[in-house]
Structure 1
């Protein structure tokens, strides 16, 4: 089946009554950058989100709050720290993989998270920085300790419930050195697994997991695989230390639960449903929807992401598929097949920013999908976030001027 153009998708969605767009953030409505503190958000995009109230939610592994949170970007975009809360201009939805819930007025909660887990997370960034300083000198022997200390500090993203180490700044010290970049990826994996072991020693063995971005799917033990650096594609740049249950597939059901509650007056999974109480396996999530939601109450779902990967296995017998958006996009597609809705998957080209990512430019989507991929990408946005924002604004303006029936 041929893909839709953005214009065709616009026409398809223009008059949909019950619509829910579920959208990632970085690489979709903002360019990918090496330092997340330099991100910028288009004020016109913020206005478009407000106009789509009730038909839009974010689903991101980033966070809403804190100095690195998206709320700060919204405030900067509007030039007013008070206006977003007063007028409901924050981005509603789920952050930190699903454990951080926010409405458009910035009211925030962390359903299902314990005080002990929050305390460990609060201490994690300092521990990450110390572990980096233990390990980096052996890999970057030509770099002075003062510079190493600076890059280690910058690499640790001190977010509240998903502290992360980002290798982009460290990779800059070994440009075009694929072997060196792969060694750094291995070091990062070892470091973060040590942190998991330290959590277990404190009685938090089942509280956390590692989210690898981008990744090559999961291994036999359920752990996300590193995507090794290669020429023209740095592969894995981040590992996030995340709360168990912080997976976008479960987050999709939380958003669906809220949407149906608003529209129909009852939450099909219960008022207290959250990602930490939800099933984790895709087939169990799909079964839960089939069991609890009448097909006629399902909205038309549109999933928008940028991080989907597919690489041939080393033995050439199959494909290693992953990417932080793949899971929720797959589930969204399966939900449409079940209920008879033409749910749509939109992929934005995030190669236009500062981070090396596979491009849509030649149309092959090499490194993104493959001929046997069960995930069907319905619409491509090859010109990146700017193209997507323009399309999204057009849709929001149309629905505001000509309200759907």
Structure 2
């Protein structure tokens, strides 16, 4: 099959951004399909590809690997107005409505860039099916417009919660706008079930797999000189973050000087400023360091050094980070809850997921991990990731595409 994948983020962005589309593109190419991955440039200021360059790259490409084409967004006057910090909120809402109705959403510059490249892409590649991920609404518009121009079916990948990221008053509007999608995928049952409230098309749950660097070797061990506790990823609500740090600080304090001096805390994620402030309010006595988003290789080294990895749960979304962190062969704490689906996934891959619903459970869990670490019993898990590889997911995607084309 000749498949056109539409990603809202360049695969060069690092971290989880763009990982799903790029990884499935490589896995599908390994299965013998021709995959063209279209995305915006990493930096909007980068020069865009000319139509002649696009045609030349398609003609010369070895399809044993996906072909990645990145286009520089084309900003419009309305987009510049919408992004102006001086625009009053009431006018910003009107500008947003205009962008959604007339320019393909608040990333209409990406829609415009892709539309300008239609002739070169369709002349040279001639896709048979399009797969566009829901990172934002504009990305779906790009996929829909390209599929219509090519006269081929298109499909949606709901890798985020449709209900949470789209204002309620627009659910019905967008249901009608994207009703011509032939099928959809979700990166979790949670997200697929939510999308199915509005989209009645056939669908498939295809879990994202894991960046190779995150998978710890069987002989991997945590640091022995320090009890390293990590907190990974977004924190979502100040309340959950404050409660987590309050419980952790109480646990450190209860262990006296020995525990304080032996324990290190490290946060990595997009909420670095919030975490710094919350640490200051918590009275945490051990050494604590904070950094922003990091590439997967850096994140892997951090999480493999840890005695325990932690994350803050968000009730409105599925945490793909749970699978990645279970691959690190360390105990994993989610606070203050998790969806049943994640427990099922943990059982499936034999991951050590420990969910704490309150501070008392959190303190007791840190006690248990601390004792295991001191006795050299970490890691205690041998995860089985065979059912959640990128190749296994590509097999599901391949079957869904074949069914769409057969219809």
TM-score after normalising by structure 2 = 0.29
Which structure has more relative contact order (CA 8 Å, sep 6+)? It is 1
